[in-house]
Chain A
């Protein structure tokens, strides 16, 4: 394999506070226990089909302080949250939770893929991903299923502050 420039890590780009930031956020608590055995990566269903997702590598990147590279990446968003890694990690690192933690930190900085942003908006506005309209309820009636409300309005009130904190962000 040839060495390309992007394989080098510039020490000036590292943020030495990043590992601590992650370790003190929910889901990131045990990251420093990782000894890079690669069990997570070997059993990962995403890694199997897409090499850009590599949990062992992501953990190393965090510990080294590659904050921008991690938080601006698209790869943290393709974790399937299957928990296989978390179940198997010999050090008890909850890797699925750790990925959630990294995505949450990225989102806080405004890096949210369009699909996830849309889901947040839909849920904040109507309380569920899919609205149940009259047509749906007619179908339900025909099938012998009870009617459901179109949306649950209360959720917009519950998530008001959360949604506000993401407003104005651009991807």
Chain B
């Protein structure tokens, strides 16, 4: 299985641990990636200011994938939603498609609509599948309890994702955790937002939103958070210390990307999974594995 890997802006700058873990587990799973050098930002950050700008950027990225015809594998949920939505919209709106293609002509690109967009976690769940994943598990992670954070754009708007998982009662990330032998921890307001998209406008509000989830997960007794979006990770991992000090609380909650968890269960080296680069230290967590 081969995909065009879409990294977006945040991962190359602040989520290299995610990228490393994805590459490491994919190698074992026979997933191949094509790095498209010319992929730019997905377009999400300018959507609030001008939606047409976002549509043009997303369509250009899709047009680049059209050239070799491989589907796009995304790692960031915001990129997933923007690219999927644009693909969805342009395929059913001929007028918009023509307008977009007139603009893309300036840079010699054309949107054809031949590729699909899928988040890496969804590829694991749907295309690789639980049965195959189970055969790759070498080490049961029964010593761990993980609290899954689905975030928003991995699931919503559900219409553009063909309702592959329920936004009010999502299961895919928990099933993926269960495969590794780890325990799934339930907690209050599990499907709420990380607040990341509010950061540019009002960091106080963004942090207050993130705080609620950190508190709820802490109370649940989970060893760590399981997530699949670099935006959410910035909120819970990179900003955790700042949120803790702002609200005078202590969380000390490691935040892992699902491929890092899967990699541990495949008995890959934590270094190869970039676990030393997670901001909240994972040393104590990893020590639990050898207890």
Contacts and interface: CB of A to CB of B under 8 A. Distances in A.
A115 B41 contact: no
Nearest to B199: A115
A27 to B, nearest CB: 7
A148 B46 contact: no
B198 A78 contact: yes
Nearest to B202: A78
B172 interface: no
A9 interface: no
Nearest to A88: B168
Q: Among A53, A100, A155, which residue has the most Cβ atoms of chain B within 10 A?
A: A155
Given A84-B193, A86-B156, A145-B23, A104 B41 contact: no
Contact of A143 (B9, B16, B192): B16
Interface stretch (A15-23, A33-41, A121-129): A121-129
A154 B57 CA distance: 10
B287 interface: no
A139 interface: yes
A104 B41 CA distance: 19
A33 to B, nearest CB: 17
A100 B51 contact: yes
Interface string B12-28: 11101001100100000
Interface in A20-48: 26-27, 45-46, 48
B212 A49 contact: yes
Interface string B36-61: 01111100011111111100110010
Contacts of A154: 38, 40, 60, 107
B270 interface: no
Nearest to B152: A82
Interface of A: 26-27, 45-46, 48-50, 53, 74, 77-84, 86-87, 94, 96, 100-101, 103-104, 107, 112-113, 115-117, 119-120, 123, 127-130, 132, 136, 139-140, 143-146, 148-149, 152, 154-155, 157-159, 162, 166
